[in-house]
Amino acid sequence: MYRSLLSSRLRHSPRSTRHLRPLYTQIRTMTTEEVKLLKDPVTGELISKTELKRREKARAKEAAKANKPAPAVAVGKAEKSNAINEDDLNPNQYYEMRSRQIKKLKETQNPNPYPHKFHVTRSITDYIDTYGPEGKVPAGTKLENVTESLAGRIHNIRASGAKMKFYDLHAEGKKVQIMATQQDSSDPDAFIATHDIFRRGDIVGVVGTPSRTKKGELSISPSEIVLLSPNLHQLPSTHFGLKDQETRYRKRYLDLIISENTRNIFIKRSQIIHYVRNFLTQQGFMEVETPITSLLAGGATAKPFVTHHNDLNLDLFLRVAPELYLKELIVGGLDRVFEIGRVFRNEGIDMTHNPEFTICEFYMAYADMYDVMDLTEAMVEGLVKVLTGGSTKMLFHPDGNKGEPGARVYEMDFQRPWKRYDMIETLEEKLGVKFPPGDTLHTDEANKFLRDLCAKHNVDCSEPKTNARLLDKLVGDFIEPLCISPSFIVGHPQVMSPLAKWHRSRPGLCERFEAFLCTKEICNAYTELNDPFEQRLRFEEQVRQKEQGDEEAQGIDETFIDALEHGLPPTGGWGMGIDRLVMFLTDSTNIKEVLLFPAMKPEAPVPPVTDAPPVA
């Protein structure tokens, strides 16, 4: 039984066995009889009877030790000894000790460890801006008759005897020092007992006077310091940080507490989205919202997620793109619309893909791909100048080893105009062959030509080997690696672009471009197809590809065709993956670094989902 359980787990997770370690431990300790798990009354974990007995014995010994009278030593030495003991505890021991302390405070309410409110007069950022300038608070002095209230999280604690303590108070990515002395306290007799409560990671409120140490560090000298929310867990060292990548992604709150770099990435992400939204608004676009669930998954070539609507008893798809809805709004007379939101694609997870991601799409009536290309260059170049303070150049380390000897580095130059690669012409140049005419690239003869070409150059393409997929693989191997600075790939065959308008002067091709940066696609745009007769033929071709086994192909959307039959003006459409753009502009090689809560494999096995019984 155990062997089959283990082999099943290995089959489903071929890339990593780290999550199997708990399973190995479980198998080693199991007997032929089923192990009965009991609940730990302190931690709430389900553990074996043997482990529970061991913990209870250790706690009894610890409690007896705590009740033993302490030897008469100097207060400073006692504090130092206690600190060393706490540092020596493992995470479970520390959690149990801290939990007991806080539960005791909850019982005595002296003080209440979870108060409802604390009045803050200034943010830490405002406090530094107000009292930080040179001369505002001279070194070694306090501003008498000035009282401020600050709040934040304690990161470091230092003592200078029993009657003086220093804390680093962090909030909003800033830090200010708390310089607590017994003589400044509003209750000097309770000073030692009050400060004995605080630990690294606690959230506290401070009421005190702006001051500066003799060495010139801006501080606040508190008359009162209040516990607002205790941290029950050991906080990782600020010096070494949180090194385990899995923990950083699963516990993003802990990563944000510890890592200033992580915080800065998400601040920059917010700035990027804010810039894009403002840029489009200033160009006369209106921001809209379209449905997340629909009866058809259209607007992009991607495999959708399926969900179920109980009341309607219908299977629905999570959207793979908002495109078709946005173009229906253009038909309705909203000439410039955009949406920034989540889309969902049931595909693989890797360094540049997450199943749900943020996209920005806009549609612009009376424009074509060339207008949209100019708009793309202006938007991204302007964004980079804002982020860099005026420069159009940025660096990206594709291997994620910034600062190491021999690290590869890409220099990206966003200065307009960007380089343009014609798809078929560039492939002909790189492969030394002549491609079939553009208006025959959808045929069986073209499929054989493309299969032979991929085989000759060792280009791997999984089934189904449709013309569109074979072309896409060739582009990925021979053109995308050329695109380090932002570049456009143009001249796509119609077979690759079911929603793009045919090229006005090159039969068989369409008016579409893709923008690439550091060899990865960041945006995709068309002169939109507005001929309902042609659109139906394109959809039917997509259906044929789906029947061949292409799960990403689209179906026929009759509502969208009906909208086209009412008249879609000549339109330029554009979509950009925000997450991938943020990756390159923050020098992040893994998409998980720019998603607050990325998709992760579960740490423990998840029971299969069973269909709920129908509701009467």
What DSSP line would sit under 534-576, residue for residue? HHHHHHHHHHHHHHTT-TT-----HHHHHHHHT-PPSEEEEEE
pLDDT tens readout for residues 500-527: 899 999 999 999 999 999 999 999 999 9
The mean of the pLDDT values for the chain is 88
Distance CA 179, CA 104 (A): 27
Distance CA 339, CA 326 (A): 8
**DSSP summary character for residue 235:** P
SS (H, E, C) 487-545: EEEECCEHHHCCCECECCCCCCEECEEEEEECCEEEEEEEEECCCHHHHHHHHHHHHHH
pLDDT tens readout for residues 108-119: 999 999 999 999
85 pLDDT above the threshold of 80: no
271-290 average pLDDT score: 98
pLDDT tens readout for residues 185-215: 999 999 999 999 999 999 999 999 999 999 9
Q: Identify the residue whose tokens are 């941290």.
A: 231
Q: What is the pLDDT of residue 56?
A: 81
279 pLDDT above the threshold of 50: yes
Question: How far is the CA of 606 from the CAs of 67, 601, 602, 603, in angstroms?
Answer: 44, 10, 7, 9
Q: What is the pLDDT of residue 66?
A: 55
pLDDT tens readout for residues 113-159: 999 999 999 999 999 999 999 999 999 999 989 999 999 999 999 99
Question: Which residues on adjacent β-strands are paired with residue 575?
Answer: 361, 524
Tokens, residue 538: 């394109």
Distance CA 559, CA 548 (A): 25
Q: Which residue has the higher pLDDT, 608 or 189?
A: 189
pLDDT bracket for residue 591 (50, 70, 90): very high
Distance CA 419, CA 491 (A): 14
Q: What is the pLDDT of residue 553?
A: 75
